[in-house]
Structure 1
Amino acid sequence: MPSTFERTTKKLVKEIGDQELRPVKSLLSATKIRRFSLIQRKKARSWFWQRPDEPLDASLMDILEPGSSVPDAAVEVSVLFSDTEVSKQQAAGSVNAGAEVGFSGETAACQESSLDIQIVSTPQKSWTELQKRKLLDPEPYFLKQCREAGVNLYVVTETVELRNSPVLPDLSSANVSGKFFFPLNIFVKGEAQGGGLKVRKKTLTVPKGSVLAYTRKQLVFYGREWDEYTDDDDDEKTLLGGRVQESPGLDFKLLQEEVSQNIKAAELSKDMQGVVFSKLLAMLGDRKALQDLMDKLEEEPFGHLDGPGGTILTELRKDFRYPEVGPGCLILYLLEALMVLSDIQHVLLAQSMEKRILLPQRDLVRSILEPNINCSENTPFTLQPELLAPLQGEALAITYGLLDECGLKMELNSPRSTWDPEAKEPLCALYAALSVLSQLAEA
C-alpha cells in the first residue's frame, strides 16, 4: 500500500488528468527533483516490470556547454487541491473451500490534504534554444557511466510544485475481535484476541517548493549533439543508443519462462539457498536494506555490507561465475521484484515464508494472471476453490492481503473479485517473488 505521501500525489495526478504526469513516490525525491533535473532508470531484468526513476544530483545544464541564461519558465496553472477521504470497512465470517477465518472486525480511516500547487513548464522556444548548445567536451564522467551501462537518461520538462507547506494527516482506527486480524488496508495490521481498539495518527509536513509530480523526456545523444524523445511506457519500448527495441509478446507463458530461466541459470546449492532464504527473511521489514543489497550487487566488483545483506554477499563471493551468471543474477532478479511490492506486502511475504505457504500462494496468483495478464478492462473473476483449500485461516488472510495490495479488491467472505489492469505489474512481480522464494525454501 502506498505511503500517505504517495497516495496524495497519485490522487493529485489523477485529478489533473495529464497522462504524461508521473507522481513522485517519496518525500526525498520530492525535494530533489526540479525542472531540468536528470533522472536515470536502470534497465529491469524482466519484461514485466520497470525499475523506479532515480533522480540524479545533476541537471541538463551540468552536461551542456555554458549559455547566456537559463530558459524562462511558464507557470501555466495555479490550483488549490483539497481532498478528504473517510472510509469504513467491515469483515466477518468464513471463506469458501472450508477455510474458516474466525474473524470479525471494523476499520475506519480518514485522510485530508490541502495543496496549493502550480504547474511549471518550459516553452518550446526555450527547448529549441537549449538544443543549440552541445554536450561538454570531455563529457561528464557520470554521463559516460550511464552510456556504458545502457542506463536510460531523462530530463524533467514540467513540474507540479507546492506553493504552501501542507500537513498531511493520517488518522486511523480499528475495532477488532476474533482469532486474528489482518491488514485489510494500510491502517490496521497485527493480531488480536477478544476485542480491542487501535488508533493511530500520523502527520507529515511537506516543505514548500516540493515537486509532487513531473513529466520527463528521454535524452538521446549523437556525438556531442542531443535530442529529447517522448517515451511511452505503455509501448514497452527501450531506447538503446538511438534505436528502439520492441518487447516480445508479454503473455503469462513468457513470464513463466523468464522466472524458470533465472532459477535454472543460478544453480544454487542447498547451503546457499538456505542462507539467502533466511537472510532475506530477516531483511524483508527494511526496504533500505534491500535497496542497499541491490546497489552492492550491481557494483563491479560488488561492494561490502554489514548485517544479513553482508552475509549474502559473502556467500556470493565464493561463486567464481559472478557477475555474468550465477546466484547473484537470480538474487538481483528477486530483489527487483520485491522492490515493486509495497512495504506491507514485504511484511506479509515474511509471514508467508515463515508459514511455508509460498507454493499455494504462487499457484493462486498464477490462476489470476494466466487468463487476465493482457486484459485491458476491469473483468470479474472467481478464485478456484481447490486453490483456496490449502490456505486455511490466517494463511488465507495473508494471501488475500497480498492480492489486495496489488490492487485487487478482495473480500474475506467471498472468492470473487475484479481484475484491474493496473494490478498487472505488481501481480507479475508477486508471482516472480513467490516462485523464487519457494525455490529457496526447498533448502
Structure 2
Amino acid sequence: MPYSFDQASKDVVKKLQGRDLRPVECLSYATKFRLFNILQETSSRLAFKTEYIPVGFTLLHILEPNIPVPEPEVSAPIALKHDLFMELEANLDVRDSAGGGVGFDKSGGYDIEVQSKSIPNPKLESLQNRKLLDQLPTFMKTCRTDGKNLYVVTEAYELTKDTVLEGTSNGKFSIKGIINQLVKGEAKGRRMRKDSISVPKGSVMAYKLQQLVIENNTCVILHSHHGKKRMTFPGIPKYESAPNPTDRYLEISIATGPWKNDIDPIGRIKEPAHLDFRCLQNEVYKQTERLAELSKNVQEVVFSSFLHMLCEGDRNVLYDLMNKLELNQLGHMGGPGGKILDELRKDSSPPWIDLKDLILYLLQALMVLSDTQLCLLAQSVEMRLLPHQVDLVKSILQPNFKYPWNIPFTLQPQLLAPLQGEGLVITYGLLEECGLKMELNNPRSTWDLEAKMPLSALYGSLSFLQQLSGA
C-alpha cells in the first residue's frame, strides 16, 4: 500500500517539532483545517488521544459581519523528505514435515514542501470579544447543550505544490518438504502491490489550535491551549454519559485495592495509579461486556460493516463515520458506514447500553492506528488470530504500561506458538507499526513510551473485534 497521508502527516509533525502541533488524520479533510476553521473536541477516552473534528464553519461565520480580518503571517517554504523501508521474515517449521518461510516488506516515502500560515496572538487581538451573530448555527446550540468544547485553527502547514505519495509492498512465501499426505515438493510465491496517492496543493498536513470561550454573546480565543481547563460555554456542565455502578466500583478498587502499595525498584518513578494497565483493562472489559449484551443481529451488522471498512483500508470512511456520530449527524451515508447509522436510528438496545458510544469507542481506537495496521487487522480477523493477538498485546502492556522509559522485554514463547508463518508476520507487523522494534527470529524487544498509546488502541480494537466476531 502507499505511504499514506496519515503517516506523512505524523512524520511532518515529528520533523517540525512544533509545540502543540497536530497531524491531519485524513486526506479528504485536509482542506478543513485551514486558518479560522472551528473544530470540536471528541469524547475523551482513558488511553486514546482526543481528536478534533471540523464542524464545517469558520470563526468568521459566527462573528458579526464586516469585521477586519487579520492578515496571516506566511513562512518560507520548508522542504521535507522521508524514505521508509521495513522488512519482516519468518521461518516455517510445521510438525517437522515442511519448512520454508514467509515475509513481507514495504517501502515508501515523500518529497514535499510545506509552508506555515499563522495568526499570532497579537493579531488575534482584533477578534477578541467580538459579538456573535444573533442566530447561531445549529452545531453551536448542540455543543452548548452537550457541553462540548470548540477550538479554532490558528496555524496551518500547507503543501506548496501538488505531491504524490508512493509505496510498494511485497508478500512472499516458500514451503519445502511434505506439504500434505499426498504431495511432496516445494512451493514458492510472491505478491507485489504498488500504489500512489495524489495530494493537491493547499492540503493541510499539520495544524495548531486554540480554544474558544463563548460568554455574554462574545467570543474569546485563549492564548494558550495549556493551563487551567475552561469550558467553551461556561456555566454549562460538560456532558457525561449516565453513571454506571461498575465505574464507581472500579474507581474504588483501583484506589484501595491490594496493589496500591506495590513497591517499585528504588529510583524508579512510575506514572500515576490511574494510568496503570488495570484501568485500561477494566475499561476495555466493561465496554466489551456491553457489546456482548447487544442482540446477535446488531453485533453481526456492526462487525460486518467494520470488517468491510478495514478490508477496504479506507481511513477516510472511518473518520467520516466518527465525525457524523460526534456531530450527531445520523442522516444519509453510503456503504457499510450507512448500515451502522441505520442501526443507530432504529436502536433497540437495552436502555443502559449506549450503542453510539460503543461504536465511537472502537472508531477512536482504530483512528490511533496506521493505515497498514487497519489492513493487517482485517487479515487477522480472516485468519482468526484475534484471541492470540489480544493475549500477546496484553502481555506487553501489563508489565510495562506504567513506566515512562525504555525497558527490554521478551515475548512469551507460549503466546507466540499459536502464531505461525503468515500469522506471525501479520502480528509482528501490527506491533512494529506501534513503534516497537521487532525481529521475527528474536523474541526480545524494547518497550518505548511512544508505543503506549497505539498499543493501547490495538488492545482495545482487537478486544472489540474479537467480541463482535464471536457473535
- Partners of 2:31 and 2:343 in 1: how far apart? 37
Counterpart pick for 1:385 among 398, 404, 413: 413
> Residues of 2 paired with 1:337 and 1:268: CA distance?
20
Question: Structure 1 residues 290, 72: closer, same or farther in 2, change over 3 A?
Answer: closer
Determine the C-alpha separation between the residues in 1 that align with 2:457 and 2:132.
38
TM-score by length of 1: 0.81
Calculate percent identity across the aligned residue pairs: 44
Q: By how many angstroms is 1:131 displaced?
A: 0.8
Whole-Å Cα distance in 1 between the matches of residues 111 and 99 of structure 2?
36
Q: C-alpha deviations, 1:379-434, integer Å up to 9, x for none?
A: 32211112212222222222212212222222211212222222222211221122
Pairs within 5 Å for 1:3-14? 3-14=3-14
Note if contact 1:91-1:412 (Cα within 8 Å) is conserved in structure 2.
yes
5+ residue gaps, structure 1, are: 181-191
Aligned mates of 1:84, 1:303 — CA distance in 2: 40
Residue 281 in structure 1 maps to residue 319 in structure 2: no
Q: How do residues 72-151 of structure 1 correspond to structure 2 at under 5 angstroms? A: 72-75=71-74, 77-85=75-83, 87=85, 89=87, 91-93=89-91, 102-104=100-102, 107=105, 109-115=107-113, 117-151=114-148
CA shift for structure 1 position 25: 2.9
Cα distance in 2 for partners of 1:338, 1:215 equals 23
| 2:77 alignment partner AA | V
Aligned Cα root-mean-square deviation (Å):
3.8
Distance 1:302 1:324 in 2: 20
Residue 47 of structure 2 corresponds to which residue in structure 1?
A: 48
* The one of 208, 214, 226 aligned to 2:207: 214
Look up the match of 1:158: 155
**Which amino acid in 2 is paired with 1:264?**
E
Name the residue aligned to 2:245.
none
What is aligned with 1:440? 468
Q: 1:285 to 1:238 in 2, by over 3 A?
A: farther
Counterparts of 2:165 and 2:343, CA distance in 1: 44
Q: CA distance change for structure 1 residues 271 and 105 in 2, over 3 Å: closer, same or farther?
A: closer
TM-score by length of 2: 0.76
Distance 1:206 1:299 in 2: 27
Query: Which has the higher mean CA deviation after the structures are superposed, 23-32 or 305-314?
Result: 305-314
Distance (whole Å) between structure 2 residues aligned to residue 101 and residue 113 of structure 1: 41
CA distance in 1, matches of 2:275, 2:11: 29
Q: Distance in 1 between matches of 2:187 and 2:376?
A: 20
Give 2:264's aligned residue. none
Displacement after TM superposition at 1:376 (Å): 2.3
Residue 187 of structure 1 is matched in structure 2 by: none
For residue 13 of structure 1, report the CA deviation from its aligned partner. Answer: 2.6
Question: What is the distance in 2 between the residues matched to 1:379 and 1:19?
Answer: 27
> How far did residue 176 of structure 1 move?
3.2
Question: Gaps spanning 5+ residues in structure 2: where?
Answer: 177-185, 239-271
Q: Secondary structure at the match of 1:249?
A: helix
- Cα separation, 2, equivalents of 1:331 and 1:58: 26
Q: Which residue of 1 aligns with 2:248?
A: none
**Any conservation in 2 of the 1:27–1:206 contact (CA below 8 Å)?**
no
Per-residue CA shift, 1:353-388, capped at 9, x if unaligned? Answer: 233332221111111111222332233221111221
Residue 201 of structure 1 and its aligned partner are, at CA, apart by 5.0
Asked if 2 retains the 8 angstrom alpha-carbon contact of 1:78 and 1:118, the reply is yes
1:268 is paired with a residue whose SS is coil
Q: List per-residue Cα deviations over 1:157-192 (Å, max 9, x = no partner).
A: 112233x31433425364834259xxxxxxxxxxx9
The residue identity in structure 1 corresponding to 2:200 is V
Q: Tell me how far apart the structure 1 counterparts of residues 121 and 346 of structure 2 sit (CA, whole Å).
A: 54
Letter of the aligned partner of 2:71 in structure 1?
A: D
Q: Which residue of 2 aligns with 1:61?
A: 60
Q: Which residue number in structure 1 is paired with residue 446 of structure 2?
A: 418
Provide the residue aligned with 1:204 in structure 2. 198
Partner of 1:285: helix, strand, or coil? helix
Find the counterpart in structure 1 of residue 387 from structure 2.
Answer: 359
AA aligned opposite 2:172: V
Deviation at 1:104, TM superposition (A): 4.9
Query: Which residues in structure 2 correspond to 1:161-180 (within 5 Å)?
Result: 161-162=158-159, 164-172=160-168, 174=170, 176-178=172-174
Q: Which residue of 2 aligns with 1:331?
A: 359
